[in-house]
Amino acid sequence: MRQFSATVVSNISLCRDLYRIDFAWDARAVGPAPGQFFTVRVSDSTVPLLRRPFAVSGYASDTRTASAIYQRRGRGTDLLAARQAGERLDVIGPLGNTFPPPKNSQRCFLAAGGIGLGPVLYLARHLVRDGRDISLVFGARTSAGVPAAGTFDGLSPAVCTDDGSQGFPGSAIDYLNTLEPGTFQDTVLYACGPMAMLKEYHAIAATHQCPCYVSIEQVMACGVGACMGCAIRVTTEATYARVCTDGPVFDSGVIVWT
Amino acid sequence: MRQFSATVVSNISLCRDLYRIDFAWDARAVGPAPGQFFTVRVSDSTVPLLRRPFAVSGYASDTRTASAIYQRRGRGTDLLAARQAGERLDVIGPLGNTFPPPKNSQRCFLAAGGIGLGPVLYLARHLVRDGRDISLVFGARTSAGVPAAGTFDGLSPAVCTDDGSQGFPGSAIDYLNTLEPGTFQDTVLYACGPMAMLKEYHAIAATHQCPCYVSIEQVMACGVGACMGCAIRVTTEATYARVCTDGPVFDSGVIVWT
Amino acid sequence: MDLTVTIGNGKLPNPVGVASGTFGYGSEYESLIELSKLGAIYSKAVTLEPRPGNDAPRLVETPSGMLNSIGLANVGVERFLTDKMPFLARQACAVVCNVAGSGEDDYLRVVERLETHPDIFGYEINVSCPNVKHGGLALGTDPVLVERLVRRVRGLTRRPVIVKLTPNVTDITVVARAAENGGGDAISCINSLVGMVIDVGARRPVLPAGCGGLSGPAIRPVGVALTYRVSRAVSIPVIGIGGIMSADDALQYLLAGASAVQIGCATFVDPSIPGRVLSGIADYMTREQIACVQDIRGLLQ
Amino acid sequence: MDLTVTIGNGKLPNPVGVASGTFGYGSEYESLIELSKLGAIYSKAVTLEPRPGNDAPRLVETPSGMLNSIGLANVGVERFLTDKMPFLARQACAVVCNVAGSGEDDYLRVVERLETHPDIFGYEINVSCPNVKHGGLALGTDPVLVERLVRRVRGLTRRPVIVKLTPNVTDITVVARAAENGGGDAISCINSLVGMVIDVGARRPVLPAGCGGLSGPAIRPVGVALTYRVSRAVSIPVIGIGGIMSADDALQYLLAGASAVQIGCATFVDPSIPGRVLSGIADYMTREQIACVQDIRGLLQ
Ligand SMILES: Cc1cc2nc3c(=O)[nH]c(=O)nc-3n(C[C@H](O)[C@H](O)[C@H](O)COP(=O)(O)OP(=O)(O)OC[C@H]3O[C@@H](n4cnc5c(N)ncnc54)[C@H](O)[C@@H]3O)c2cc1C
Ligand SMILES: Cc1cc2nc3c(=O)[nH]c(=O)nc-3n(C[C@H](O)[C@H](O)[C@H](O)COP(=O)(O)OP(=O)(O)OC[C@H]3O[C@@H](n4cnc5c(N)ncnc54)[C@H](O)[C@@H]3O)c2cc1C
Ligand SMILES: Cc1cc2nc3c(=O)[nH]c(=O)nc-3n(C[C@H](O)[C@H](O)[C@H](O)COP(=O)(O)O)c2cc1C
Ligand SMILES: Cc1cc2nc3c(=O)[nH]c(=O)nc-3n(C[C@H](O)[C@H](O)[C@H](O)COP(=O)(O)O)c2cc1C
Ligand code: FES
Ligand code: FES
């Protein structure tokens, strides 16, 4: 990991709720892999104080351009959305672990909800480039949370909306439950989204006895494993794991789901 | 006084160190008079927390446009300088007292240092409109602190710079000391600028036994007389006066100069 | 919707008041705020004699807060009654007099004088002022002194007696219980924290007095924590204070156990805040179907 | 230019350290910070047994600050020695072990074990942890307990013993003097303030533990004020802590009376801050022609 001052390449709105920022990744830093994240100091004021973490949603190693898909949720992401091309961004990355690759024969089922889109999209592109057979499902509350088709470049996700305003009417979980049980044979599940959704994926995976990797969010202070602030409960002897360094990707079987 | 949401008409740089902001004064508020000030909430964040006070540097009663001349000094004025035409400004005004008018026969000598320019300029225009005979002196550290001649519209101040880079070489006080003593006969002095400068004007006025009114700055919290925070030492029985409501204009003889 | 707050034998029309020292004597904000919408105006501290206050500067901004060193600058109880009360008495909202002094007798004599005025709702006893006899520490750091003072004030009045605590103590619940035992009708929680800012260029504290009182959003987590503790230690109402800028902030205090709140330096920042806090609380009650503002206290899980 | 700081029989290379709990065991920041430039690394609290820490979430941001409720999560003294010390021992900077426990014996046994390692500079005794025997209040609120604990630690080691005080007390100078009387070599001032944030939507405190520790720029005025007081009450060095984000902030502490400083959550915000604070202090000394960092203390008017 490195701390660097990155130049913003572009920062655009993808749909009402989502934005994408592209910036130049530092040449001396390792390129980010699917599952990894970075933190940004969004303001030089003391409000907001803490850096904000975002998952990498794509990385072009030729141009060294990294991107993230984010939602405006509060002051930090408001300030991020105000950054314009050419401006600077104080970035630390790459942080965290990566999605484990599927076994040779395994098919990959990828599921993203809301702001979980970024890391799942990056993983999807990565797997497709490796010639893997993937299925992608993306769930949002309403069509306002669904970016234009171009965002998925070439991938064709099953889009679900809770209010039925676009694609499958219902959650991504509801959608999965409509699929034939055979779908999950020799399959590995990858998911990122709200905790409640991840818990359901874990349950589905357990039912079908397929491995399931989830990318978790937790409020962070340091992002590098030093403060013990981003703990989540795990089933191992350690009791707690740090999302920033032991994760953000975990085998769903290790998490204590509450 | 009223609190209102004003539209910024323009916000421009006058020289390296000074800016001028023009904004629409609320129709239901009394128009500001020379000497008065207003406060602005520069951010909806809690940093900076307190409103920032600025003297009115001009007011066009026909268009109800008020202006202030300000210096970028810290975060508050940085944020003010970033406001663009059409944006909103949370204003409370008019606040404080006004410069007392000169007696009939009196000539007026007006002196401004640095950010003291605004209120003095407004007073000068006001007096000229009333057909008064005025002299105006403006002192800055260097030519970077001297706005273009157009700022003084029609008035021709004696410009002084400490480093001699423009106009009279030396402070405005040095300049005054080059004038013939007769200059101050039947004259009233009006001054705004750093405390050290005001103290010297007071001394000059005392020597020449002419009245002297100074506009004082003090850190403020409420700006309306409620918090007792903006106190300055005075010679009256009250011991302290509030700059925001008893001032900002004081007879220099009332101030305890330290 | 019932927004009233009962304190002793009195009733405040709503839970949102403006804190002592931040609202002068009311008239200063008359043209900016509808005073009749306020639950209560807590006056600037009233002392026996007029006090000029501390040397300038008296204020300095800090990250998300401010330090003040006003030094109880006030007109004294006599001029308060003659010059300030007539305006306050005309207002629809409750007027609570914040009372301060350097010794016990000062407090008592001020209350005695204020008892002569018919339009005072009650007293807020400010035990946070540095006390000479008590080694410069605030009287409010000693539960024995607090209990005795409150008991003696209690003996002078049937009006609500509110005791305003300092947060600068090891265990605020001990002092809160002392105030309750002395006969106090409510606790105001909290006054400002001790703080200092040094002007590095000038090599001296910005405030000539050295330390000042820290208030504003920076201290809100401290105020909420101490309100939570105090409201569990006493059975009289608690009035939450410290860094409230919005209805959500006020609701944190009410959920923590407060029966009412006071807005302090937020009024400086935006005089519309007290009004918006009240309407925001009312909106919350509508949305969450809460009939009585006093029920919010019981909702914390 | 002399940047060294003498503490007991030890000497720190410069006055800028990184605070306990905000820098893990050093290795976490290895790729972001030149550790050799640090005056000292104060380790995460070390306890006798490993501790898993508190339930999640453990953090919440506040205006210009943050609350934490980590709960002394740490690997315990044995694994600290085997897993963490080898890395720390390789670093050029001083390693100070922050020691915590639920009772006096815990502290002593941790220090005894740490004495076996040759590369520890000294100990920072964290008396701010809630103490079961002491009614849940921190041991550090009782000067008698503090003096006894420090005296017993003193008996175990010739290394520098630093006592880290809690600000949540009525009179911090009393506790500071107790630490000095017990044989402490320095005072760390301050640990975090008590605070709480309530999630209004969920109607419960954000932190499952209820209260947490407030740190960051919001508390800087409190840290400076207490450093000013403590450094006038004791003759041992004081290490100023709380909200330092820049060289100017650190200079406030040094002018207030501190001999050294620690950077806490500012490192989270920008890992380059400790380095920039040190170079900023050096620049100030050059500009103001101050030869010895220890002389800054005497410059306050
Ligand atoms: C590993 C990781 C990857 C993430 N990836 C993405 C992503 O790709 N796209 C995206 O939109 N969001 C992502 N997030 C969440 C993102 O960090 C928060 O939305 C953002 O910090 C909110 O900041 P704010 O100031 O706008 O909102 P706030 O008003 O501060 O808070 C809004 C919400 O964000 C959460 N939050 C606030 N601060 C933090 C913090 N320091 N760390 C984590 N969560 C916080 C709060 O719990 C709150 O519920 C990720 C979080 C983590 C931990
Ligand atoms: C009655 C009055 C009229 C003024 N008129 C003008 C004017 O016409 N043009 C102009 O440029 N400036 C004027 N000022 C000064 C102006 O208010 C400050 O420059 C401004 O507040 C600085 O804010 P900042 O955040 O940029 O700087 P900061 O970094 O906060 O501070 C820079 C300096 O400004 C002073 N200052 C900070 N906050 C306040 C406050 N709330 N009130 C007063 N001073 C403060 C500080 O003492 C400090 O020395 C006036 C001040 C007063 C009291
Ligand atoms: C300028 C100023 C003056 C104050 N004067 C008094 C006072 O006279 N008596 C008192 O009890 N509290 C006084 N306080 C404390 C406030 O009433 C309040 O307890 C404190 O500011 C915390 O609330 P806040 O964070 O909302 O400002 C004063 C506060 C400020 C900022
Ligand atoms: C996440 C976190 C964990 C902490 N853990 C400890 C600890 O284990 N021992 C200790 O003495 N102080 C601990 N502290 C307190 C800091 O060392 C420091 O005293 C406090 O944060 C104030 O400094 P700051 O405002 O610069 O952060 C911790 C602080 C934070 C933010
Ligand atoms: S955020 Fe600090 S350990 Fe994960
Ligand atoms: S700023 Fe409050 S009284 Fe002047």
* CATH classification of the domain holding A8: 2.40.30.10
The answer to whether position B238 is within a domain reads no
pLDDT band with cut points at 50, 70 and 90 for residue D134: low
Cβ(A229)–Cβ(A219) below 8 Å: yes
Residue written as token pair 């499902």: A137
- Is residue C47 pLDDT above 90, yes or no? yes
CA of B46 to the centre of ligand 2 (A): 17
pLDDT band with cut points at 50, 70 and 90 for residue C256: very high
Does one domain contain both A78 and A160? no
- What is the atom index within ligand 3 of the atom nearest the CA of C241? 23
Cβ(A25)–Cβ(A6) below 8 Å: yes
Can you tell me the mean pLDDT for D147-167? Answer: 97
Query: pLDDT tens, position by position, for chain A (258 residues)?
Result: 999 999 999 999 999 989 999 999 999 999 999 999 999 999 999 999 999 999 999 999 999 999 999 999 999 999 999 999 999 999 999 999 999 999 888 899 999 999 999 999 999 999 999 989 899 999 999 999 999 888 887 888 999 999 999 999 999 999 988 988 788 888 999 999 999 999 999 999 998 899 999 999 999 999 999 999 999 999 988 889 999 999 999 999 999 998
Q: Which helix (H) or strand (E) holds B56?
A: none
pTM flag (> 0.90) = yes
Confirm or reject: Cβ of A230 under 6 Å from ligand 5: yes
What is the rounded distance in angstroms from the CA atom of residue B188 to the CA atom of residue B206?
11
A198: tokens are 């991840």
> A235-239, B49-53, C263-267: lowest mean pLDDT where?
A235-239
Vertex B132: Cα angle to B131 and B136 (nearest 5): 125
pLDDT, chain C, mean = 95
pLDDT band with cut points at 50, 70 and 90 for residue D5: very high
The answer to whether position A165 is within a domain reads yes
Backbone angles phi, psi at B244, to 5 degrees: -75, -30
Give, in order, the Cα–Cα distances in Å from B24 to each of B41, B67, B85, B87, C105.
16, 9, 11, 11, 54
CATH code, domain carrying C249: 3.20.20.70
Last residue of a domain, one of B64, B95, B126: B95
* Helix, strand counts (H, E) of chain A: 4, 16
D248: tokens are 């100017």
Residue written as token pair 């989204």: A193
D254: Cβ contacts below 8 Å, ≥ 6 apart: D15, D240, D261, D281, D293, D296, D297
D154: Cβ contacts below 8 Å, ≥ 6 apart: D161, D182, D183, D184
Cβ(B121)–Cβ(B67) below 8 Å: no
State the amino acid at position B44 in one-letter form: D
- What is the atom index within ligand 5 of the atom nearest the CA of D24? 3
Can you tell me the mean pLDDT for B60-83? Answer: 96
- Top residue of A42, A45, A84 to mutate, by most chain B CBs within 10 Å, is A45
Residue written as token pair 């003090």: B218
C137-187 pLDDT per residue, tens: 788 999 999 999 999 999 999 999 999 999 999 999 999 999 999 999 999
The percent of residues above 70 in pLDDT, for chain D, comes to 97
What is the rounded distance in angstroms from the CA atom of residue B37 to the CA atom of residue B122?
11
What is the rounded distance in angstroms from the CA atom of residue B219 to the CA atom of residue C197?
14
**Contact status of C272 with chain B (Cβ, < 8 Å):** yes
- Give CA torsion, residues D287, D292, D295, D296, to 10 deg: 40
pLDDT band with cut points at 50, 70 and 90 for residue C135: low
Backbone angles phi, psi at A178, to 5 degrees: -85, -15
For chain B, the C-alpha Rg in angstroms (whole number) is: 18
So what's the pLDDT on residue D132? 53
Can you tell me the mean pLDDT for B172-194? Answer: 90
The answer to whether position A180 is within a domain reads yes
CA of D189 to the centre of ligand 4 (A): 11
- Top residue of C64, C220, C246, C248 to mutate, by most chain A CBs within 10 Å, is C64
Backbone angles phi, psi at C137, to 5 degrees: -75, 155
Does one domain contain both B11 and B85? yes
Task: Give me the residue from A41, A230, A233 closest to D269, CB to CB.
Answer: A41
pLDDT band with cut points at 50, 70 and 90 for residue C132: low
Q: Which D positions 138-157 lie with beta carbon below 8 A of chain B?
A: none
D40-88 pLDDT per residue, tens: 999 999 999 999 999 999 999 999 999 999 988 999 999 999 999 999 9
CA of C37 to the centre of ligand 6 (A): 23
Helix boundaries (H) for chain C: 76-79, 85-90, 104-114, 143-156, 172-181, 220-233, 247-256, 266-269, 273-287
So what's the pLDDT on residue D115? 97
Residue to mutate, B21, B70, B151, ligand 2, most ligand atoms under 8 Å from C-beta: B70
The parent domain of residue D58 ranges over 5-298
Vertex D167: Cα angle to D162 and D170 (nearest 5): 120
The answer to whether position A257 is within a domain reads no
Domains: count for chain A: 2
Task: Give me the residue from D31, D52, D216 closest to A239, CB to CB.
Answer: D52
Residue C285: alpha-carbon gap to chain centroid = 25
Helix boundaries (H) for B130-240: 172-178, 195-208
The answer to whether position A235 is within a domain reads no
C57: Cβ contacts below 8 Å, ≥ 6 apart: B218, B219, C206, C207, C208
| Better pLDDT: C164 or B177 | C164
Cα nearest neighbour of A90 on chain D: D270
Does one domain contain both B23 and B112? no
* Helix, strand and coil percent figures for chain C, each rounded to 5: 40, 20, 40
Residue B15 CB burial class (10 angstroms; 0-12, 13-18, ≥19): middle
D76-130 pLDDT per residue, tens: 999 999 999 999 999 999 999 999 998 899 999 999 999 999 999 999 999 987 6
The answer to whether position B102 is within a domain reads no
Confirm or reject: Cβ of D21 under 6 Å from ligand 4: yes
So what's the pLDDT on residue D131? 58
Can you tell me the mean pLDDT for C23-40? Answer: 96
Q: Which helix (H) or strand (E) holds D149?
A: helix D143-154
> Are residues D56 and A231, on separate chains, in Cβ contact within 8 Å?
yes
Does one domain contain both B125 and B190? yes
Domains: count for chain D: 1
How does strand B2-13 pair with strand B88-95?
Answer: antiparallel
Give, in order, the Cα–Cα distances in Å from B67 to each of B61, B94, B118, C133.
12, 12, 8, 53
So what's the pLDDT on residue B152? 87
A174-188 pLDDT per residue, tens: 998 898 878 888 899
Helix C172-181 to helix C220-233 angle, to the nearest 10 degrees? 50
What is the rounded distance in angstroms from the CA atom of residue C167 to the CA atom of residue C223?
8
D162: tokens are 């630093």
Question: Of A249, A222, A248, A243, which is closest to residue A3 (Cα–Cα)?
Answer: A222
Does one domain contain both A89 and A13? yes
B225-248 pLDDT per residue, tens: 999 999 999 998 888 999 999 999
Residue A215 CB burial class (10 angstroms; 0-12, 13-18, ≥19): buried
**Does residue D265 carry a catalytic annotation?**
no
The parent domain of residue B11 ranges over 2-95
Our CA-based measurement puts residue B11 at a distance from the nearest CA of chain A, in whole angstroms, of 20
The answer to whether position B255 is within a domain reads no
Backbone angles phi, psi at C83, to 5 degrees: -95, -35
Buried b (16+ CB within 10 A) or exposed e, B209-219: ebbbbbbbbbb
What is the rounded distance in angstroms from the CA atom of residue A131 to the CA atom of residue A129?
5
Our CA-based measurement puts residue C33 at a distance from the nearest CA of chain B, in whole angstroms, of 9
pLDDT band with cut points at 50, 70 and 90 for residue D236: very high
Cβ(D14)–Cβ(D3) below 8 Å: yes
Does one domain contain both B148 and B211? yes
Does one domain contain both A64 and A120? no
D187-214 pLDDT per residue, tens: 999 999 999 999 999 999 999 999 999 9
The answer to whether position A22 is within a domain reads yes
Our CA-based measurement puts residue D23 at a distance from the nearest CA of chain A, in whole angstroms, of 5
Cβ(C81)–Cβ(C53) below 8 Å: no
Question: Of A226, A215, A225, which is closest to residue A245 (Cα–Cα)?
Answer: A225
CATH code, domain carrying B162: 3.40.50.80
C184-201 pLDDT per residue, tens: 999 999 999 999 999 999
Does one domain contain both B121 and B178? yes
Q: Complex ipTM, two decimals?
A: 0.96
- Is residue B17 pLDDT above 90, yes or no? no
Question: Of D75, D68, D61, D82, which is closest to residue D19 (Cα–Cα)?
Answer: D68
